[in-house]
Amino acid sequence: MDDRQTQLRKGALELAVLALLSGDERYGAEIVDILASLPGLDAGAGTVYPVLARLNRSKLVET
């Protein structure tokens, strides 16, 4: 995967996480499970938790 694809996937993943959190509060494991069921967004805990930490530092989500 080249750098542009990596950055695009990273951005899409962040948007997907924000979309999942916009309706309800969710645990990280629940987010991982939901993303695993979506084609192209399959991301494990090792990917989702750093995204949540980054969004938290940006004050876009609260933990």
Q: What is the mean pLDDT of residues 52-58?
A: 95
* Percentage of the chain exceeding pLDDT 70: 98
Q: What is the mean pLDDT of residues 29-57?
A: 91
- Tell me which H or E stretch contains 34: helix 28-36
Q: Is residue 28 part of a domain?
A: yes
Q: Is residue 11 part of a domain?
A: yes
Q: Is residue 7 part of a domain?
A: yes
Number of compact structural domains in the chain: 1
- pLDDT computed for residue 11 by the predictor: 83
Q: Is residue 62 part of a domain?
A: no
Q: Which range of residues forms the domain containing residue 22? A: 3-57
Angle of helix 45-57 versus helix 28-36 axis, rounded to 10? 120
